[in-house]
Amino acid sequence: MKKTLIIAMTALVSAGMVFAGGQAQSGKAQSGTAPAKTVVVKTMAYGDNSNAEGVNWVRIVKAFEQANPTIKIDYELLYDEAYHQKVSARLAAGDVPDLAYMGGDARWGGPWKEASQQFDHRPYIDANYFDLNLIPPMGPNGEIWEIPLGTSNITTVLFMNEDLVKSLGFSAPKSYDDLVAMVPKAKAAGLDVVSIDGADGWAWGSCLMSAIVARLSGDPHWVSKAVAGQNHFTDKVFVDSLSLIAKMVKDGVLSDKAALVDYGANTSNFSNKKALFMIQGQWVAGSIDPAVADVTKMMAWPKLPGEQAATAGSVAAAIQVGYGLTKKGASDPDVRDAALKFLKYFYSVEETTQRLRDGAIVAPILKNYQVPSDLPLIVKQKVTLAQTAKSTDVIDAFLAGAANDALNAGMQKIATGAATPADVAAEVEKLARSK
């Protein structure tokens, strides 16, 4: 018994000394010239150590903290699936960050909306610094839930290797039939006409179907209306839009092996001149081999069969994601002010220009921003496309969960001949209406 008591006492005394030592150190720091209180902004950032987003994030935070020693950006940096998973897990656990990478739509804003953590930034956005005309409303009453990295994010770009197309004796297509006419020569040369990362379900929805359904319906907001119940996914126009995917594969415009090509292989195929065209979002422009990027033209889909005049030449575009305060972060004035100070630094002219050069954004949202004249050609084209093409809904900005998954997998099945457009449409409609 005595031994036990001695051991217990020794452990308690040792622990006490450790904690006392720590407190003494803190005490020393607090005495003297009374340094200012450090404000910690808990942040969920997007990127990883191997991509520009992640590398730039780390650099920006380091520089900001050096310039503002009383503010600490305590961040967790995650990318892709890992980010989405962690957002759900942290919110469910009640571990809400003060600042986070988020969006205002179903995909990027869903968890924040569900957790009632969206915060209206309107009263705090400096109208002399940001161009409020370029930040679209995100909430039902015009709320702005985050500060977008750039203007709307075009997801249905057709990238054309102009040199390769010319080498086969063709020019930029004006209609779908022009694409079909390229098939025999392209096949003979061992090339794909249009390459898509069809192994990724989301690419079919975000980068192809979003454009088709708007073009065929003539309604730029057909998808959001369908999600709201005003249209139905079993409507003829939606089934016809799905049928066009099957037609594209049958005509050889899309390769029958498309469902086996993933994101990296798609970009790589285009960069290695294995395809005349590539379907992807605007953000991929920065990943194309520079030599190919110099001869690449970014365009909207040419006229599609059954297309309506009201949406001719349109592209699908979603509100760009960005960083926003959460309700929890905004509830503490010190944290809110520190976070807003950081955001201004993060969205500085220099950093925004870097993002523009990296191909991460379409165009800046800063007031009176002067676009540098020495931007790469492909970046200039991107800005032009955003300024000239009519914008329509992106499917997964409105349709979420099982219904969106069923649509994405359904389009892959249609492309591989494993399902009919009517079957896929019926399943999506059923899941979209089930709660």
Partner 1 sequence: MTGRNGKNLPAYIGMVGPALAVFLLIVAYPILYSLILSFTDFNPNKGGVWHFVGVTQYARMLGDPNFWHALSNNMVVVGVSVFGQIPIGFALAYILYRGMVGAKNFFQSMVFLPQFLSTIVIGILWKRMFQADGPVSRLIQIISGNPNAQFDLMLRADTVMYPIGFALIWMYTGFYMVIFLANLQKVDTEMIEAAQIDGASEFQIFIRMIVPVLSGTVLVSAILAIAGSLRGFDLIFSITTQGLQRNNAMVLPIFMYQTAFQDFNNSARFAYGAAISNAIVVISVGLILISNLIGKKVNAGEEY
By the criterion CB under 8 A, which residues form the site for partner 1?
1, 3-4, 7-8, 81, 84-85, 88-89, 91-94, 106, 110-111, 114-116, 199-202, 204, 255, 257-262, 265, 400-403, 405, 408-409, 412-413, 416, 418, 431-432, 434-435
Separation of alpha carbons 233 and 60, rounded Å? 44
Q: Which is nearer to partner 1, 138 or 365 (CB)?
A: 138
Which phi and psi angles does 423 have, rounded to 5°? -65, -45
Q: Minimum distance between the CB of residue 430 and partner 1, rounded to whole angstroms?
A: 12
Cβ nearer to partner 1, comparing 168 with 265 = 265
Phi, psi of 216 (to 5 degrees): -75, -30
DSSP, res 397: G
Residue type, 370: Q
The answer to whether 152 and 389 are in contact (CB under 8 A) is: no
Q: Give the separation between CA 139 and CA 118, rounded to whole angstroms.
A: 9
Closest CB 350 distance from partner 1, rounded Å: 35
- Please give the Cα distance from 317 to 312 (Å, whole number): 15
Q: How far is the CB of 332 from partner 1 (least distance, A)?
A: 20
Of 166 and 257, CB closest to partner 1: 257
CA-nearest of 387, 382, 389 to 313 is: 389
Helix (H), strand (E) at residue 242: helix 236-251
Using the minimum distance from each CB to partner 1, give the nearer residue, 115 or 237: 115
Helices (H), 272-376: 290-293, 327-331, 333-346, 349-358
Q: Helix, strand, coil shares of the chain as percentages rounded to 5?
A: 50, 15, 35
State which residue, 366 or 431, has the beta carbon closest to partner 1.
431
Query: Least distance from C-beta 127 to partner 1, angstroms?
Result: 33
Instruction: Give whichever of 168 and 409 is closer to partner 1, judged by the CB atom.
Output: 409
Min. distance of Cβ 64 from partner 1 in angstroms? 30
Angle between the 349-358 and 52-67 helix axes, to the nearest 10 degrees? 170
Shortest distance in whole angstroms from residue 278 CB to partner 1: 14
Nearer to partner 1, 229 or 333 (CB): 229
Q: Are 226 and 205 in contact (CB under 8 A)?
A: no
Name the minimum Å distance from CB 130 to partner 1. Answer: 29
Q: Provide the minimum distance between the beta carbon of 90 and partner 1 in the complex, in angstroms, as a whole number.
A: 10
Is residue 306 a contact partner of residue 388, using CB atoms and an 8 Å limit?
Answer: no
- Compare residues 253 and 293 and give the one whose CB is closer to partner 1: 253
Whose Cβ is closer to partner 1: residue 13's or residue 24's?
A: 13
Provide, rounded to whole angstroms, the least separation between the CB of residue 199 and partner 1.
4
Beta-bridge mates of residue 101: 323
The secondary structure of residue 282, as a DSSP letter, is G
Kindly state the DSSP code that residue 141 receives in the 8-state scheme: T
* Other beta carbons within 10 Å of 426: 16
**DSSP-derived 3-state class of residue 18:** helix
Rg over alpha carbons for the chain, rounded to the nearest Å, is: 26
Residue 111 beta carbon to partner 1: minimum distance, rounded to whole angstroms: 6
432 CB-near residues (< 8 Å, 6+ apart)? 226, 227, 233, 399, 403
- What is the distance between the alpha carbons of residues 124 and 43, in angstroms, rounded to a whole number? 18
Helix, strand or coil, per DSSP, at residue 161:
strand
Which of 261, 300 has the CB closer to partner 1?
261
